[in-house]
């Protein structure tokens, strides 16, 4: 901890430049909640992102923009009273499952993406919403660029270095006819999920128009079941069981003290069906 320097810049350019300081071990601090587990910190320079104005939630042309510094409790409070066809409502349900209220006030959406674990509810919901991540890349041709969240997952450590910052997430416009659901299994109702699932489904009169399903707790990172959506498009819901069985057969969930791989696969099926019923 000796010679640890702390900065609180007010512009993204300054924050990025500090994080890219040559020959230094730098670390961005968002909610700071992961520091609790990191007694060594392993950094010479801490860069606090709290003054960058990245805590806005805005809507533009049907898209939802959520700044990287938006915390989980803000998502809970903003989305709580919204209808089931609003992406903020889905983010509210998932954010609620991230932690108890005290920690929800610290955990930011940027930090949750940077440190996503297997069963992250908020990352699972963002995958179902087909979200993109807005990055600040100081050495890129365009300093601001968007990448698909699904493409970033698993590569955060490689991407988020040398001054690269998550600025926020963008949820694309989604039909108002869509119903968005989230469900989980956990040791207790208030606990972090063992398995969770989120879905965005637009039903026509009798046929599914579009469907996106994501599941957490069945792989190293939450996964989108893209093939399931492709197979069920323009089909009646009665085809769900068969399509879901083949999608789940592709998974190879890990086993640990919280549940075996078979249990996780079975629960993923139960939750997806519950969301679509």
Ligand X SMILES: Cc1cc2nc3c(=O)[nH]c(=O)nc-3n(C[C@H](O)[C@H](O)[C@H](O)COP(=O)(O)OP(=O)(O)OC[C@H]3O[C@@H](n4cnc5c(N)ncnc54)[C@H](O)[C@@H]3O)c2cc1C
Q: Given candidates 12, 18, 28, 272, which one binds ligand X under the rule CB under 6 A?
A: 28
Can you tell me the distance from the alpha carbon of 257 to that of 191, in angstroms, rounded to the nearest whole number? 15
Neighbouring C-beta atoms of residue 111, cutoff 10 Å:
23
Q: Given candidates 64, 107, 174, 224, which one binds ligand X under the rule CB under 6 A?
A: 107
The residues, any chain, with a CB within 8 Å of residue 134's CB and separated by 6 or more, are 65, 144, 145, 146, 166, 167, 168, 169, 170
Neighbouring C-beta atoms of residue 158, cutoff 10 Å:
9
- Asked whether position 166 contacts ligand X by CB under 6 A, the answer is yes
- Asked whether position 259 contacts ligand X by CB under 6 A, the answer is no
- Asked whether position 31 contacts ligand X by CB under 6 A, the answer is yes
Least CB distance from residue 201 to ligand X, whole Å? 27
Least CB distance from residue 74 to ligand X, whole Å? 12
Q: Segment contacting ligand X (CB under 6 A): 23-31, 80-88, 138-146, 247-255?
A: 23-31
Burial grade of 171 (CB within 10 A; 0-12, 13-18, 19 or more): buried
- Asked whether position 111 contacts ligand X by CB under 6 A, the answer is yes
* Residues from 55 through 94 that contact ligand X (CB under 6 A): 68
Identity of the residue, 98 or 247, whose beta carbon is nearer to ligand X in the bound complex: 98
Identity of the residue, 117 or 220, whose beta carbon is nearer to ligand X in the bound complex: 117
Q: Segment contacting ligand X (CB under 6 A): 110-118, 240-248, 252-260, 261-269?
A: 110-118
Least CB distance from residue 203 to ligand X, whole Å? 33
- Asked whether position 27 contacts ligand X by CB under 6 A, the answer is yes
Across 21-107, the runs of DSSP E, i.e. the strands, are 26-29, 45-48, 57-60, 63-67
Nearest in space to 237 (alpha carbons), one of 276, 269, 199: 276
CA distances from 4 to 7, 160, 202 (A): 10, 21, 51
Radius of gyration of the chain (CA): 19
Kindly list the residues in this chain that would bind ligand X in the complex (CB under 6 A): 27-36, 49, 68, 103, 106-108, 110-112, 114-115, 117, 120, 160, 165-166, 192
């Amino acid at each position: 901890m000796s010679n640890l320097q702390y900065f609180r810049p007010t512009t993204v350019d300054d924050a990025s430049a500090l994080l890219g300081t040559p020959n230094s071990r730098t670390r961005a601090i968002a909610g700071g909640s992961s520091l609790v587990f990191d007694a060594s910190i392993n950094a010479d320079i801490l860069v606090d992102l709290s003054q960058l104005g990245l805590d806005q939630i805005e809507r533009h042309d049907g898209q939802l923009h959520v700044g990287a510094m938006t915390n989980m409790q803000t998502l809970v409070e903003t989305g709580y009273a919204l209808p089931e066809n609003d992406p903020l409502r889905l983010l509210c349900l998932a954010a609620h499952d991230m932690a108890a209220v005290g920690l929800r006030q610290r955990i930011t959406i940027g930090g949750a993406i940077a440190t996503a674990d297997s069963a992250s509810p908020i990352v699972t919901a963002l995958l179902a919403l087909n979200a993109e991540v807005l990055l600040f890349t100081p050495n890129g041709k365009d300093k601001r660029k968007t990448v698909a969240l699904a493409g970033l997952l698993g590569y955060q450590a490689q991407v988020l270095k040398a001054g690269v910052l998550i600025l926020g997430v963008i949820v694309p416009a989604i039909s108002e006819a869509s119903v968005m659901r989230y469900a989980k299994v956990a040791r207790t109702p208030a606990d972090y999920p063992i398995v969770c699932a989120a879905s965005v489904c637009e039903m026509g009169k009798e046929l599914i128009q579009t469907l996106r399903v994501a599941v957490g707790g069945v792989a190293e990172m939450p996964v989108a079941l893209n093939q399931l959506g492709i197979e069920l498009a323009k089909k009646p819901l009665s085809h769900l069981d068969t399509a879901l069985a083949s999608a789940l057969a592709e998974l190879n969930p890990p086993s640990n003290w919280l549940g075996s791989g078979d249990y996780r696969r079975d629960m993923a099926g139960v939750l997806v069906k519950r969301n679509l019923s």
